[in-house]
Structures are given as structure tokens and as C-alpha cells.
């Protein structure tokens, strides 16, 4: 029986790489996104492989129910759900329109909740995996990313509880925390008034590739690991945050202050 993976936000970056990785490993893949041109490109890359491209909004509960219903209708089962869809932001909290804060929570956090709620009954049947794409920001917040960090901390709290609810019933929950990864996320990141910032303030070429994140996520899921923390810098941030949190406050401030056009004072 062919296994089936759902990947939310599969039109770009880490999600796109996960779609291609799961498809290359023989899974039928269902993926969501809103950008027609990017969705089309992924469809072309998948070619003859079995897939379902769903133009749906991760922040909408009914869209998530539709995602699961259509996947079941087409493929009959769900073995893996990857809650990946996400956006970022860059602004001081004091300047931030609270609608932007809400939007981040709606997509990054509630999006994962709605997808998991709809898919869980099917994953309980297959004793499959639920994979949350969080961030190093789910362990350690950074300035000018208050809404983003909050959404990732919330995600990790939820998936930690869920893991212990389903662990005696054969369902596996993996939380993946990528460090800086080259993708579209810093181009679409929202500024204080909700406009996309357009240009990445960081050198994307120096970052981990989305293909490497997808590869390592797939392997960690096969081994039914609990956590995957990526990049040397990311591992150091998590470690130092436990050891010397107030020193890390200053180190992180200095690091973020070096970003061009940063809003820090
Ligand atoms: N890149 C990094 O440095 C990094 C680091 C840590 C964690 N992450 C996490 O990795 C995940 C993927 O991000 P990425 O870096 O690959 O960014 P990306 O290239 O911008 O991709 C984001 C994906 O999410 C989708 N998406 C966003 N809002 C959506 C919505 N409302 N409904 C449906 N799909 C939506 C986008 O699809 P459409 O545009 O087609 O809607 C796109 O496919 C995110 O959860 C992010 O927080 C990234």
C-alpha cells in the first residue's frame, strides 16, 4: 500500500523540498499553498508522480478540513502530516500593528492546530507521524521577531502535549527547528504595518539549503525522533540559552543589530 504525506505550504522553500523528497521516496503527496505560479512549478517538478495540489489557506479551519477530506478521497489514507506553512515578521513590538501579530498566530500556530485536528483521526489509524516545522525561535526568541517567536513557542507547547497524548497509541510527533535556511521567508516577512519587507536582510547564500532541511527531516521522521535542531548556530543558541541566558540576550541583540535596516534602538 502506497504511503501518503500531506505537507502544508508546499509551494516554496522547505515545504517544496519536503514535497519533492517525500515524492522521491515513493509517497503520494498532497500539498497546500496560495501562490498559483509557484504551485504550478512544483506540480511540473512532480511530473507523473501521484500528487494533489490544493490551493488552500493554512489559516482557515474549513480549508484544513477540506485538505484532509480531499486527500482521503484521492488517496484513502494519511501516514504523515507536515505542518510547515508559515510566514515571518520584522518590527519592534511597540511599532507593530496587532493585526500582523494575529496573522502570524493564525497561519503559523492555528494553521498547525487546524491541520492536526483534521488529520489526527486518520494518522491514529495508520500509526503515522505528525511533523511540526518550528524554528530555533521556538526555543529562543529574538528581538524584532516577537510575533514569529510567540507562534513557534506556542507550536512547541502544543506538540509537546500532543506527543504525550498519542505516544501510547503508536503515533509519532517530531518537532523540527531549522536555523537560518535559504528560502523566500525573509522576502515575504511582514513589517510593522503588514507590508512584505521584499528584500532579505541576510546573505541567503550562506544559509543551510531547504533540500538539506528536507533530507534531515525525512531521516529523523523515519527514525521516529522527538526533536531535530538544525545548524551549528541553532544548536549553540539552544544550548547557551539554557546555560547563560542573560549573556545570550546581549549576544543576540548585537547579532540582530548588525542586520541592515534593523529596527532596533
Ligand atoms: N527559512 C528559514 O530560515 C526558517 C528557519 C526556521 C523555521 N522556518 C520555518 O519553515 C517553514 C517554511 O518556511 P520557508 O523558510 O520554507 O519559507 P517560504 O519559502 O516563504 O515558504 C513558506 C510556505 O508557506 C506557505 N504559506 C504561507 N502562508 C500560507 C497560508 N496562509 N496558507 C497556505 N500556505 C501558506 C507558502 O505558500 P504560498 O506563498 O503559496 O501561500 C510557502 O509554500 C515556516 O514554518 C518557517 O517558519 C524557516
The pLDDT tens digits of the residues spanning 44-103 come to 999 999 999 999 999 999 999 999 999 999 999 999 999 999 999 999 999 999 999 999
- Domain range summary for the chain, segments of one domain joined by +: 4-257
* pTM score over 0.95: yes
For 152-182, write each residue's pLDDT tens digit. Answer: 999 999 999 999 999 999 999 999 999 999 9
Q: Supply the pLDDT for residue 157.
A: 98
CA 150 to chain centroid? 14
Residue 228: closest CA among 236, 219, 237? 219
Alpha helix ranges (H) inside 82-184: 98-104, 111-126, 146-166
Residue 159 neighbours by CB under 8 Å, 6+ apart:
112, 130, 132, 134, 173, 175
The SS3 of residue 55 is strand
| CATH class given for the domain over 4-257 | alpha beta
Ligand 1: which residue has its CA nearest to atom 25?
Answer: 9
Are the C-beta atoms of 264 and 253 separated by less than 8 Å? yes
Q: Is 51 in the active site?
A: no
Mean per-residue pLDDT over the chain, rounded: 97
Ligand 1 lining (C-beta closer than 6 Å): 9-15, 32-35, 38, 57-59, 84-87, 107, 133, 135, 178, 180-181, 183-185, 188, 210
> Which letter, b or e, does each residue of 30-42 get, where b requires 16 or more Cβ atoms within 10 Å of its Cβ?
bbbbeeeebbeeb
Answer left, alpha or beta for residue 12, where phi above 0 means left and psi between -120 and 50 means alpha. beta
**CA-to-CA distance for 258 and 246, rounded, in angstroms?**
19
Q: How many CA atoms lie within 13 A of 105 on its CB side?
A: 9
Q: How confident is the model at residue 261 (pLDDT cuts 50, 70, 90)?
A: confident
Residue 155: closest CA among 196, 104, 120? 104
Mean pLDDT of 99-126: 98
Q: Which of 51, 110, 148, 253 is catalytic?
A: 148
Enter the C-alpha cell of residue 173: 510527533
Candidate of 33, 82, 145, 158 to mutate for ligand 1, largest count of ligand atoms within 8 Å of Cβ: 33
Amino acid at each position: 500500500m502506497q504511503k501518503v504525506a500531506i505537507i502544508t505550504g508546499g509551494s516554496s522553500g522547505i515545504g517544496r523540498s519536503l514535497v519533492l523528497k517525500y515524492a522521491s521516496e515513493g509517497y503520494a503527496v498532497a500539498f497546500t499553498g496560495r501562490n498559483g505560479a509557484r504551485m504550478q512549478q512544483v506540480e511540473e517538478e512532480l511530473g507523473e508522480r501521484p500528487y494533489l495540489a490544493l490551493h488552500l489557506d493554512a489559516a482557515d479551519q474549513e480549508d484544513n478540513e477540506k485538505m484532509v477530506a480531499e486527500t482521503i478521497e484521492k488517496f484513502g489514507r494519511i501516514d504523515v502530516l507536515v505542518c510547515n506553512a508559515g510566514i515571518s515578521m520584522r518590527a519592534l513590538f511597540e511599532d507593530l500593528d496587532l493585526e500582523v501579530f494575529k496573522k502570524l498566530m493564525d497561519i503559523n500556530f492555528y494553521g498547525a492546530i487546524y491541520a492536526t485536528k483534521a488529520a489526527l483521526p486518520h494518522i491514529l489509524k495508520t500509526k503515522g507521524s505528525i511533523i511540526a516545522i518550528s524554528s530555533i525561535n521556538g526555543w529562543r526568541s529574538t528581538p524584532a521577531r516577537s510575533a514569529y517567536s510567540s507562534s513557534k513557542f506556542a507550536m512547541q507547547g502544543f506538540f509537546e502535549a500532543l506527543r504525550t497524548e498519542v505516544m501510547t497509541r503508536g503515533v509519532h510527533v517530531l518537532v523540527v527547528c531549522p536555523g537560518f535556511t535559504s528560502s523566500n521567508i525573509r522576502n515575504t516577512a511582514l513589517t510593522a504595518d503588514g507590508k512584505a519587507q521584499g528584500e532579505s536582510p541576510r546573505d541567503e547564500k550562506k544559509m543551510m539549503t531547504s533540500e538539506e532541511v528536507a533530507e534531515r527531516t525525512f531521516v529523523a521522521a523515519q527514525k521516529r525522533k522527538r526533536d531535530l535542531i538544525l545548524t551549528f548556530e541553532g544548536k549553540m543558541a539552544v544550548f547557551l540559552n539554557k546555560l547563560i541566558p542573560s549573556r545570550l540576550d546581549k549576544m543576540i541583540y548585537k547579532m540582530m543589530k548588525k542586520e541592515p535596516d534593523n529596527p532596533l534602538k
